[in-house]
């Protein structure tokens, strides 16, 4: 796959899965824009690293949960890069606890970032993509959105909602040359999973047929495939990258 001439915007692209996705696109010659909310040092470090290798990387701060800030992110991308071909909605947060201990703010913040943030970004990006009659949107969901998870009612709801959003947008824009798909990662080695209770981590590992956690690079490769011309006839799909954890 070669993304030379393509512009890709990755939300939450300064660390974890988002950073791996950004690196994969940059190494395949895309012009990469990463959005971050608070990880400025990580974003700058990645930009410097890629630019030293001759790759084009832009970094923009912004909170995707904000409708106006999301619009500004799309506008700045088009102004600086001339177009927007690929949007990866990766930004996400967790506020885990059992529902009886979860307060309203814990629920709202997760929904606002993980689900409404993807809606905000997609709405503004689709205006650009529709005019181009070309675009790719890849939403980073989770297997938790498929099977649920104790203590993650807010997170699971946000990721399940993201799957519905994916399928709805795929139907709306299929005739405009725009595909919309989702990746549902399983247990992937990131700072987020590193913070899990060891007993919970051990439980999930025991459920994975491949017997290991996934790598962020393995998710990134799947994202690149769905954004590529090789996947031009695939839309409205959910690809689990989970070592066999969830099988339908």
Q: Give the domains, in start order, of the chain with CATH numbers.
A: 7-241 (3.40.50.720)
Q: Measured between alpha carbons, how far is 68 from 73 in angstroms, rounded to an integer?
A: 9
- Residue 72: predicted pLDDT: 98
Q: Are 62 and 51 in contact (CB under 8 A)?
A: no
Report the candidate in 182, 26, 171 with the shortest Cα–Cα distance to residue 89. Answer: 182
Annotated catalytic residue: which of 36, 134, 155, 173?
155
pLDDT higher than 80, residue 23: yes
What is the band of 248 on the pLDDT scale with cuts at 50, 70, 90? low
pLDDT higher than 80, residue 37: yes
Q: Apex CA 28: angle with CA 27 and CA 32, to 5°?
A: 75
- The reply to whether 155 belongs to the active site is yes
- Residue 217: predicted pLDDT: 98
What is the band of 214 on the pLDDT scale with cuts at 50, 70, 90? very high
153-208 pLDDT, tens per residue?
999 999 999 999 999 999 999 999 999 999 999 999 987 677 777 887 888 789 99
Mean pLDDT of 93-120: 97
What is the band of 68 on the pLDDT scale with cuts at 50, 70, 90? very high
Mean pLDDT of 101-105: 98
- Residue 244: predicted pLDDT: 96
Phi, psi of 14 (to 5 degrees): -95, -10
The per-residue b/e assignment along 4-30, b for 16 or more CB within 10 angstroms, e otherwise, is eebbbbbbbbbbbbbbbbbbbbbebbb
Q: Are 193 and 187 in contact (CB under 8 A)?
A: yes
- Residue 234: predicted pLDDT: 98
What is the band of 18 on the pLDDT scale with cuts at 50, 70, 90? very high
pLDDT higher than 90, residue 152: yes
């Amino acid at each position: 796959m070669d993304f030379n001439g393509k512009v890709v915007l990755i939300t939450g692209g300064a660390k974890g899965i988002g950073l791996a996705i950004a690196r994969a696109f940059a190494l395949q010659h895309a012009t990469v824009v990463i959005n971050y909310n608070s990880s400025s040092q990580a974003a700058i470090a990645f930009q410097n690293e890629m630019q030293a290798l001759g790759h084009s990387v832009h970094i923009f701060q912004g909170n995707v949960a904000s409708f106006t800030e999301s619009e500004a992110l799309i506008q700045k991308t088009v102004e600086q890069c001339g177009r927007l071909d690929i949007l990866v909605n990766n930004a996400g947060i967790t506020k885990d606890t059992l529902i009886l201990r979860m307060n309203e703010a814990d629920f709202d913040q997760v929904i606002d970032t993980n689900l409404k943030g993807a809606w905000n970004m997609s709405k503004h990006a689709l205006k650009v993509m529709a005019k181009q009659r070309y675009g790719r949107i890849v939403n980073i969901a989770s297997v938790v959105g498929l099977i649920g998870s104790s203590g993650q009612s807010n997170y699971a709801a946000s990721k399940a909602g993201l799957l519905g959003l994916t399928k709805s947008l795929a139907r709306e824009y299929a005739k405009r040359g725009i595909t919309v798909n989702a990746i549902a990662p399983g247990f992937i080695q990131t700072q987020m999973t590193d913070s899990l209770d060891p007993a919970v981590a051990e439980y999930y590992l025991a459920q994975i047929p491949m017997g290991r956690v996934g790598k962020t690079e393995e998710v990134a490769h799947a994202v690149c495939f769905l954004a590529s011309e090789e996947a031009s006839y695939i839309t409205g799909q959910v690809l689990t990258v989970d070592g066999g954890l969830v099988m339908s």
